[in-house]
Amino acid sequence: MLEVGTKAPDFTLPDKDGNAISLADFAGKKVVLYFYPKDNTPGCTRQACAFAGTYAGFQALDAVVIGISKDSVASHQKFAEKNGLPFLLLSDPEHTVIEAYGVWQEKKLYGKVSMGVVRSTYIIDENGMIEKAMPKVKPDTNAGEILEYLREKM
């Protein structure tokens, strides 16, 4: 994980419609950048739906929500349509940004060790600095915790 107070690595990735989206596009706004393992899995779907359910609150605070996984643009498009996701989903199949943010890590599941995305969230401030880093977040409570944090900071 990147440290609070450091510059957030800039990036450009395609969204679910194939449009190039850069972190720099959101200068002057708070950005909630969440990394998740895989579209259409139970935990990732619950997390995405929790962000969708609280999206109006993020909009009211002028905060941008971006989800990143290594899934394809086509997978993101289906995932967003199926679940009515109103925020950006970016595709990072080469895990360039995933690695730059330190969330590509060793994981253990049923005694098997593999590399993968550790569900993590960053809040990036209006100047592109990491304001908050949250490793190993819970899919059901992540969106609400971030929204509460942002409301307290306003």
Q: Where are the domains of the chain?
A: 26-153
Cβ–Cβ < 8 Å for 68, 103: no
Q: What is the mean pLDDT of residues 80-99?
A: 98
Please report the pLDDT score of residue 75 as a whole number.
Answer: 98
- Catalytic, out of 44, 68, 124, 147: 44
% residues pLDDT > 90 (the chain): 94
> How far apart (Å, rounded) are the C-alpha atoms in residues 18 and 77?
9
Average pLDDT over residues 107-130: 94
Was domain 26-153 assigned CATH 3.40.30.10? yes
3-state secondary structure 65-114: EEEEECCCHHHHHHHHHHHCCCCEEEECCCCHHHHHCCCEEEEEECCEEE
Is 44 assigned a catalytic role?
Answer: yes
The answer to whether residue 80 scores a pLDDT higher than 90 is: yes
Instruction: Enter the pTM of the model.
Output: 0.96
Strand partners, 31: 64, 124
Half-sphere exposure of 55 (CA within 13 A, CB side): 14
Give the pLDDT band (50/70/90) at residue 88: very high
